[in-house]
A and B are shown apart, each in its own frame.
Chain A
């Protein structure tokens, strides 16, 4: 099983600042990684797939990068709507696995 580890667990950021979220895999793979955003009481929303491809309707301030075991989600300038929990997910092999999440909170 590929274990996905996200860091930090909580990230305190001021609106307008840049946020960098990390996701580390216990085994190397190419690009089979997705990112999701979840707000309280809401369903998760797909942000990024194939490591760096934004899903339909996702603003350009969200970007993904990485390969191997290190992946990154960057939010270039945080908006009030971006404060949420973010999860990475590998779909390289079974079982599919999520990281534990990074909560992005207002500083």
Chain B
């Protein structure tokens, strides 16, 4: 059974930094692209970033230059380093497992809440 478990959420001040982790199990982690998606309060889903098997990365314009996605295949773990956080980054952050071929998301974690506030 595929399991994705996010951690690292919490309260952070504007301008601060945070690193999220997503521990994966139940599948061959190194064989799949992985993605971060967020949902801000009262809003819909927003794609944030994807890292493919080869380590190529893709970012939404809203986070490019501030967020960094990475992966450690030896630890079956996905990361999201978030710098220069803003109030509008407040959201539940989900990690997701991409399909084997294209970028739809066939499994999701339960999410971790980030609140950016002073």
| A and B from one complex | yes
Interface size on B, residues (CB 8 A): 24
Contact, CB under 8 Å: A43 / B103 = no
A99 to B114 alpha-carbon distance, docked (Å) = 22
Can you identify 6 A-B contacts, CB atoms within 8 angstroms? A34-B104, A46-B107, A89-B45, A96-B35, A96-B50, A98-B37
B43 closest partner in A (C-beta):
A100
Which A residues, 83 to 103, have Cβ-Cβ distances below 8 Å to chain B? 85, 87, 89, 91, 94-101
- A2 CB to nearest chain B CB (Å): 11
Is A62's CB within 8 Å of the partner chain B? no
Contact, CB under 8 Å: B102 / A94 = no
Interface size on A, residues (CB 8 A): 24
Is A32's CB within 8 Å of the partner chain B? yes
Contact, CB under 8 Å: A98 / B108 = no
Taking A98-B45, A98-B47 as contacts, is the C-beta distance between A49 and B99 under 8 angstroms?
yes
Binding site for A on B (CB under 8 A): 35, 37, 39, 44-47, 50, 58-61, 94, 99, 102-111
Taking A34-B105, A91-B102 as contacts, is the C-beta distance between A99 and B44 under 8 angstroms?
yes
Contact, CB under 8 Å: A44 / B108 = yes
Is A55's CB within 8 Å of the partner chain B? yes
A95 to B64 alpha-carbon distance, docked (Å) = 11
B109 closest partner in A (C-beta):
A43
Contact, CB under 8 Å: A44 / B45 = yes
Residues from chain B with Cβ under 8 Å of A42 in the complex:
110
B99 closest partner in A (C-beta):
A49
A3 to B109 alpha-carbon distance, docked (Å) = 25
